[in-house]
Chain A
């Protein structure tokens, strides 16, 4: 008796009791479905994080920031603790062979933009030309903030394409126009638009933004020097600055050199504050680790549900063997060897698990991608995970089907024929 005949036999057996077959499969469907959903979602999230990572310069990005020393004498930051524009310039010169671009951001301020008697929420950022790398933006009309803007304290700004379209009708139409801003602290400023950027957030970020209902991209960028004067400080000070190293520069050793340079120089006499660095790679590794742990935890749960599903299959197979005792007796009388009976029931169990597994895979892909849509990207499931899921569900079929099948095979034909 061939394998194919066993398959047909098993399918006709399952068709005669569809509801029961489906309920039995449910455990497998949920188990396999969640495994696939998790792995799909996992790769979606990884892609999404990778997108952000790469758009910001990826492995080349390092952040330098103020850090409270372990043996700090105070728990607050004073004016003289801040990173100054001079320090950054110093670093830039000293490490010019390694540095591609430096980005600074001297903070933000919220306020409103009044256009034709309508207020629009905005957030104003003071940045340097290098900041474009960190803001995930691309200039599509005009230009970004330049060094000249910063040096000459110009009242220029760059707005988003959405703002430009909404207020001025087109990106180009916005260039050269002046906007009047009223900040929440009461300060007012007029800025001339010199450029329009295309706002693009990858995956997860845009999902979060969308969920918060912010379909209007409120960021407006202006020269940090002008911003600082506007805020009322005569000095340019920063909590942190970013460096994108040139390709091929080792981020770790570069970062150590820069922090050592700053801490042994500018911060040598500071009793509480020092400079620390954080590479994007280490951040990325951390995110990966968290994602990995999350995936592992859910995989364990999925594993448990597969175990429960498998036990369900075993239970139903035992019921099926008992119900069909007489049939087994007849088959044996007709000359079926034990091996054929065993095979018949194992195949039936495999088929249940396999169908459950396939439905589970489809269900999981669907679920993973629905979650992916919320996040903003979808991902095809990996072939590896599908092969694994199919193989695993078949293995469950064999493992949990063997005992009932063996019981069927070992039935005494005389007893079985007598069974009512």
Chain B
């Protein structure tokens, strides 16, 4: 069912050339390569509303970046675009070398499935479905055979230290546990980025801390590229790099404040 939609991943640099905005060299160098991203709503009506006014930024592989902004800053809109839930009105967005801005709905689904691991503020585990099955979900839609799914899900449970909760239903888990399952789910298809939207927003500071530690662990040990969307400056300070947005514009970008790791440079 998915054969024709398998995304090309980590293969030879793509040679896209969509008009003048094509940035094939950069697009192949970065995991996220966003250029002049504009997002407007009610396009073509008198109420046309531009939310993002042309954002340009790149995220190299293995970076732990946070996007910070107050509510109403365009944070959610940007997150939807980064997460391939939405397309920019204009500008280009390459995710791991694939032009998301020109993908159709079916291709967007495949991109979300293979390249993006979502972590939500409210966990969003599927109700009445065991932790293990929840983790299997992206693999289910990815067409991975049942046995492999099961093995991978168990492996992920071990990584998030939840092996003893495999059969539990979401309503039998605490908030922190739910979020750890959600993180395991986000990693199921080994995506190019983990996109976490206020992952500690619904947790108390202690469990929030545990979740953040898990992200750091994934970043350091697995070399994951993580995009953290938050309005919490303290959390943002923990990450490699902070992109600050306000009123639909990037108003600050610290760049990677840590010494880039060797794998990231390769």
Which residues does A use to contact B, with CB under 8 Å?
1, 5, 12-13, 16, 326-327, 329-338, 340, 413-414, 417
A73 vs B41: C-alpha distance when bound (angstroms): 95
Q: Tell me the minimal C-beta distance from A13 to chain B in angstroms.
A: 8
**Which of B19-27, B105-113, B222-230, B257-265 faces chain A?**
B105-113
28 A-B pairs whose Cβ atoms sit less than 8 Å apart in the complex: A1-B1, A1-B140, A1-B141, A5-B140, A12-B128, A16-B128, A326-B124, A327-B126, A330-B120, A331-B137, A332-B109, A333-B112, A334-B112, A334-B113, A334-B137, A334-B141, A335-B109, A335-B111, A335-B114, A335-B138, A335-B141, A335-B142, A335-B189, A337-B109, A337-B110, A338-B105, A338-B109, A414-B80
Nearest first, the 6 A-B pairs at minimum CB distance are A335-B113, A337-B109, A335-B112, A330-B124, A334-B138, A335-B141
Chain B residue at smallest Cβ distance from A335: B113
CB of B83 within 8 A of chain A?
yes
A16 vs B189: C-alpha distance when bound (angstroms): 29
A253 vs B106: C-alpha distance when bound (angstroms): 74
B:87-103 near A, CB below 8 Å:
none
Q: B128 contacts A336, CB within 8 Å?
A: no
Q: Tell me the minimal C-beta distance from B132 to chain A in angstroms.
A: 14
Q: Tell me the minimal C-beta distance from A161 to chain B in angstroms.
A: 66
Q: B85 contacts A333, CB within 8 Å?
A: yes
Q: A333 contacts B83, CB within 8 Å?
A: yes
A200 vs B23: C-alpha distance when bound (angstroms): 96
Most buried by A among B105, B111, B143: B105
CB of B118 within 8 A of chain A?
yes
- In the complex, which residues of chain B have a beta carbon less than 8 angstroms from the beta carbon of A12? 128-129
Chain B residue at smallest Cβ distance from A336: B141
- In the complex, which residues of chain A have a beta carbon less than 8 angstroms from the beta carbon of B143? 1
Q: B109 contacts A414, CB within 8 Å?
A: no
Q: Tell me the minimal C-beta distance from A338 to chain B in angstroms.
A: 7
Q: Tell me the minimal C-beta distance from B186 to chain A in angstroms.
A: 9
- In the complex, which residues of chain A have a beta carbon less than 8 angstroms from the beta carbon of B36? none
Q: Tell me the minimal C-beta distance from B8 to chain A in angstroms.
A: 16
Chain B residue at smallest Cβ distance from A343: B1
Q: Tell me the minimal C-beta distance from B19 to chain A in angstroms.
A: 27
- In the complex, which residues of chain A have a beta carbon less than 8 angstroms from the beta carbon of B138? 334-335
Q: B128 contacts A334, CB within 8 Å?
A: no
CB of B251 within 8 A of chain A?
no
Contacts A1-B140, A5-B140; A334 near B118 (Cβ below 8 A): yes
A61 vs B127: C-alpha distance when bound (angstroms): 71
A336 vs B112: C-alpha distance when bound (angstroms): 9
Chain A residue at smallest Cβ distance from B112: A335
Q: B112 contacts A330, CB within 8 Å?
A: no
A414 vs B113: C-alpha distance when bound (angstroms): 15
